[in-house]
Every structure is written in structure tokens, then in C-alpha cells.
Amino acid sequence: MAKGMREIKSKIKSTQNTKQITKAMEMVAAANLRRAEEAAKAARPYADKLLEVVQNIAAGTKDVKHPMLESRPIKRTGYLVITSDRGLAGGYNANLLRKVTQTIREKHQSPDEYALFVIGRKGRDYFRRRGMKIVEEVTGLPDSPKFADIKSIASAAVRNFENGTYDELYLFYNRFVNALTQIPEQKRLLPLDGIGGKEKQGPVASYEYEPSPEGVLEVLLPKYAETLIFSALLDGKASEFGARMTAMGNATKNATKMISSYTLQYNRARQAAITQEISEIVAGANAQS
């Protein structure tokens, strides 16, 4: 009986230590979530202004042509997948990677038909274990990433579409809704849709371009595509912290329930031990009388 009580007491202590860790991780994730939400909101005006300028050029230029705007027969597809470096975030990575794998299986018969660009250690390890070749990867991003942290992979993904290495580029990431909801998102990034021939409603700013509208468009279109990738990364970071905060919150609640259950078991075992000792004392007294 004493051995059983010691085991239960050890379980209570271990669960209490786990609860302290999960509670601390929940609080850290909550703080990071606020910063990630602010960063995601701050990046949107820049992307919106780039889109406005690009649309203005496209609307004012007849027969605008650029590789990033032209659809072509699909022979090879690029996939840029944004995951996290760490786990303990519920189904944040698993749901997204399952969606990517399902899409690849449905669309492709051979590994030669697609190319993978991966951000995050979880995604990289997942594809490596399945023998899926990764063209370029980025891991070890900080909690508050800068564009410079992913510039190499974003530029490579856009450049490979421009030079015809593949004919379309898809972006996979978790879209942030709130701390409880993150939706795995599949978005066709290239060729860019809805750019040319789109008239804006209301007042339109007037721009003068040097050396020419076409020359400016040549520079801005890749930057716009890279900005969309960075915006998706920031959205993914907010989703990651929201998922981790929720997962650690649930873990803390479960630990509290387990501690209550173990405490009840301990009290019952202790009561049974006391009752047994009293019974033995009474039996001994009766035997002497």
C-alpha cells in the first residue's frame, strides 16, 4: 500500500511540473501571437500599395506582357510550403502537410512533375522522410521574421517560374482566423491573376514612371510576388502561435484534471491504509483480551 501511495505521489509531482511548463509555453505563445498579428497587419498596406501601382501600370499599358502574367501549358508545378520549426502546436503542421501531400498525389504521377520549396524544419523533415526532393529550404526562422530571412527562397521560387523551370507556383500556409482557428490554405501565386485590365473604382492616383511603365513593371512584379510570400509567412507565424497557445492551454487543463484524479486516488489509498492500520490495532487488542 505504501509503495502504491509513493507512485501516486510521484505522478502528482511529475504532472505538476508538466503543468508549469505548458502554462509557461501558453503565456509565451500568447505574447508572440500579439506581436505576430501586429506584424501581419503592418505588412498588408505595403502589399496593397504595390498591387495598386502594378494595376495602374497594367491598366494604362496596352497589351501588357510579362512571364509572370501569362498562363502556359502546365508541365511542371512548384510548391512553396510554410511550416514551423517546432512542434507542440496541435494540428498546425500535420493538417497542412496532409493537404500538400494529397494535392501532389492527385495532380502528379512522377516526382519530375513538381518542385518543392520548404520553409520550416517540420516540413523539411516530413518531405525528407518520404523521399521527396526539396529544391530549396529555410529553417531556424526567428519568432519575428524579417523579409531578409526568406528573401533567398522567395526569389528562387519566383525566378524559377519566370525562367520556365515550372509553369505555375502554389503557396501552402495556414491562414490565421483567430487563436482557435487556423485554416490550411492553398493559393495559386503564379501566374499572377487579376492584375491586367482591372479598373479601380473611385479616385485613382496618377504616376509617372522612369524609364518606362514596362521597365517598372519588370521590377515590381517579382517584388509583389515575393511580398505575397512574406505576407503568407507572417500569417503562418500568427497561426503557429495561436495553435500553440490553444494546444498548451488544453494541455494545462488536462494536467489539472489529472492532478485532481491522482489526488483523489492518493487520498483514497491513504484512507484505506489508515483504516487497515486501525483494523489491525483493534484485532491485536481483541486477541490480547
pLDDT at 79 over 90: yes
Q: How far apart are CA 240 and CA 142, in angstroms?
A: 13
Q: What is the mean pLDDT of residues 45-74?
A: 78
Considering all CA atoms of the chain, what is the largest pairwise distance in Å, rounded to the nearest integer? Answer: 115
**Beta carbons within 8 Å of 239's beta carbon, 6+ residues apart:** 92, 173, 174, 175, 176, 182
Confidence of residue 270 (pLDDT cuts 50, 70, 90): confident
Contact present, 81 and 118 (Cβ < 8 Å): yes
Q: What is the mean pLDDT of residues 140-145?
A: 94
pLDDT at 201 over 70: no
Confidence of residue 234 (pLDDT cuts 50, 70, 90): very high
For the chain, the structural domain boundaries read 28-246
Beta partners for 138?
119
pLDDT at 196 over 60: no
> How much is the pLDDT for 103?
95
CA angle 244, 151, 167 (to 5 degrees): 100
Sheet order of strands, 77-82 included: 134-138, 114-119, 77-82, 168-178, 181-190
Q: What is the mean pLDDT of residues 224-235?
A: 93
How much of the chain is helix, strand and coil, in % rounded to 5?
Answer: 60, 15, 25
Q: What is the pTM of this model?
A: 0.85
Confidence of residue 203 (pLDDT cuts 50, 70, 90): low
pLDDT at 207 over 70: no
For residue range 163-176, list pLDDT tens digits in order. 999 999 999 999 99
Q: What is the DSSP string of 247-272?
A: HHHHHHHHHHHHHHHHHHHHHHHHHH
Of 39-48, 105-114, 245-254, 260-269, the range with the lowest mean pLDDT is 39-48
Mean pLDDT over the full length of the chain: 88
Contact present, 150 and 117 (Cβ < 8 Å): no
> How much is the pLDDT for 206?
66
> How much is the pLDDT for 142?
94
> How much is the pLDDT for 204?
59
> How much is the pLDDT for 144?
93
> How much is the pLDDT for 251?
95
pLDDT: which is higher, 201 or 48: 48
pLDDT at 44 over 60: yes
In 130-167 the beta strands, taken as DSSP E runs, fall at: 134-138
pLDDT: which is higher, 269 or 207: 269
| Nearest one of 144, 152, 111, 106 to 237, comparing CA atoms | 144
For the chain, report the end-to-end CA distance as a whole number of angstroms.
29
Q: In terms of residues, how long is the chain?
A: 289
pLDDT at 71 over 80: yes
pLDDT at 286 over 90: no
Contact present, 111 and 133 (Cβ < 8 Å): yes
Q: How far apart are CA 114 and CA 100, in angstroms?
A: 12
Q: How far apart are CA 77 and CA 168, in angstroms?
A: 5
pLDDT at 41 over 80: yes
Q: What is the mean pLDDT of residues 153-181?
A: 93
CATH class given for the domain over 28-246: alpha beta
Q: What is the mean pLDDT of residues 99-125?
A: 95
